[in-house]
Structure 1
Amino acid sequence: MSNDRQLQQDVIAELGWDAAVNASRIGVEAKNGIITLSGHVESYAQKWAAERAAQRVGGVKGVAVEMDVVLPGSSQRTDADIASAARNALEWNVLVPRDAVAVMVEDGHITLSGDVEWAYVRSAAESSVRGLQGVKDVSNLIRIRPQIKPSDVKTKIEAALQRRAHLDARSISVDVDKGTVTLAGTVDSLAERVTVENAVWNAPGVQKVVDNLIVAR
């Protein structure tokens, strides 16, 4: 059995294992370590969960998402209803400062904008609206505008990577130019690559991540 065939079966199994995903509606193809997900799902939350499930599988080097969100009749909502629900969800999330994030909705597609100081706030805002009924997609245009020195960012990121026992931080280089962090080196899996990216985004002052990491396996 070829590596791609095994990888395809592993991803299908992971999708079936994830309770947040209706795997029966999702097609999986594998080519040279790249997974393509296709088909139809009933919510944006399912689409997002399927993408993350595929990324968790060892040996996956990349994920192409070609799934469509087709809302059942019971999930249909007007843009005004979605915008109101999104506004309420953001206000109820203690991680998101009040009035820091603006919401625009068009045909079920949510666009978030505004300025915040931390990447975790940006992620929290998106998480707040991702699972709302009627949502077909989320575009996160929130900008990170912190007050911090690039040298401090580099130090904090390198320390965070060293604290993760399953990562070999010596194989990863970190370069910081203003708010842009460039990563280079090798990791053992796509899951490790995602772990490194998450660690970087958790550092104060990070506005953009250029991921040049190579998956070795």
Structure 2
Amino acid sequence: MPSDQEILSDVQDALTWDVRVDATNIDVDVTNGIVTLNGTVDTYTQKLDASQIASRIRGVVDVKNNLVVRPTIMRSDIDIQNDINAALRRDVLVDETNIIVNVSNGIVVLSGSVATMAEKNAAESDAWLTPGVTDVINNIVVTPAVARMDQDIEEDVRASLARDTRIDMTNIDIEVVDAVVYLRGAVSDYTQKWIASDIAWWTPGVRDVINELTVKAAA
């Protein structure tokens, strides 16, 4: 198991070398395997990429992202809103009919409804990829087109996890209540934790995913 100092060094190196992120103003702290990112970046995409980069480092059990987005080019809220609406219309994964976009001081609030969790997350991705965005608040409600039994959803999530070679589901417990999937138990790395969420999101009938998995890295 890497020490906090080793994890710190690896995260700093990874952020410095990755072309997706300007790490000049990013400060990294590690305590008991928990990585905390502080400082500023130019785009919301860089903020999310920084979390992803840190999460892949061996020994990381959680990532707390406190990065603040300070765009180098300021854009009007209406321009940001128009660009997000256009991106939603172009996105084949999203039915934007019932999605409402509001922007205030660069902060995007998404509301309305979609049929799947995958659509909700795709809409959020479209928003944070838009230049000038400093934060995204996703209040979209998932209303499945066809209601499914909780047991059927649970069986599908379990089967999908079992098929995926990236996941060791030996210690993963799955519960579905009112179409909300709860993931509990332990995985060996932070990446597996979020892959499990992603798999659950794509399951038909799911309204939300609550990921309570803990990371217990191998020694």
Shift of 1:207: 2.1
Shift of 1:159: 0.5
Question: What residue is the counterpart of 1:189 in the other structure?
Answer: 189
Question: What residue is the counterpart of 1:11 in the other structure?
Answer: 11
Shift of 1:211: 2.3
Cα distance in 1 for partners of 2:96, 2:202 equals 20
Structure 1's consecutive aligned runs of 4 or more residues displaced over 4 angstroms after TM superposition are none
Question: What residue is the counterpart of 1:131 in the other structure?
Answer: 129
Cα distance in 2 for partners of 1:111, 1:197 equals 22
For residues 149-170 of structure 1, what are the alpha-carbon distances to aligned partners after superposition, in whole Å with 9 as ceiling and x for unaligned? 2111101100001111232223
Question: What residue is the counterpart of 1:80 in the other structure?
Answer: 78
Question: What residue is the counterpart of 1:141 in the other structure?
Answer: 139
Amino acid at match of 2:190: L
Shift of 1:10: 1.4
SS of residue paired to 2:67: strand
Is contact 1:57-1:191 (8 Å) kept?
no
Is contact 2:62-2:215 (8 Å) kept?
no
Cα distance in 2 for partners of 1:30, 1:208 equals 30
Q: Give the 5 Å matches for 1:145-184.
A: 145-146=143-144, 147-184=147-184
Shift of 1:62: 1.2
Question: What residue is the counterpart of 1:35 in the other structure?
Answer: 35
Amino acid at match of 1:183: L
SS of residue paired to 2:97: coil
Question: What residue is the counterpart of 1:100 in the other structure?
Answer: 98
SS of residue paired to 2:203: coil
SS of residue paired to 2:88: helix
Unaligned runs of 5+ in 1: none
SS of residue paired to 1:165: coil
SS of residue paired to 2:151: helix
Cα distance in 1 for partners of 2:135, 2:158 equals 34
SS of residue paired to 1:99: helix
SS of residue paired to 1:132: coil
Question: What residue is the counterpart of 2:214 in the other structure?
Answer: 214
Cα distance in 2 for partners of 1:36, 1:84 equals 34
Is contact 2:153-2:205 (8 Å) kept?
yes
Question: Please, what is the CA RMSD of the aligned residues?
Answer: 1.6
**Structure 2 length-normalised TM:** 0.93
Shift of 1:80: 0.9
**Structure 1 length-normalised TM:** 0.93
Amino acid at match of 1:105: V
Cα distance in 1 for partners of 2:190, 2:96 equals 35
Q: Could you tell me the percent identity over the aligned residues?
A: 34
Cα distance in 2 for partners of 1:142, 1:32 equals 35
Cα distance in 2 for partners of 1:158, 1:57 equals 27
Cα distance in 2 for partners of 1:44, 1:123 equals 15
Cα distance in 2 for partners of 1:18, 1:71 equals 19
Shift of 1:188: 0.5
Is contact 1:184-1:212 (8 Å) kept?
yes
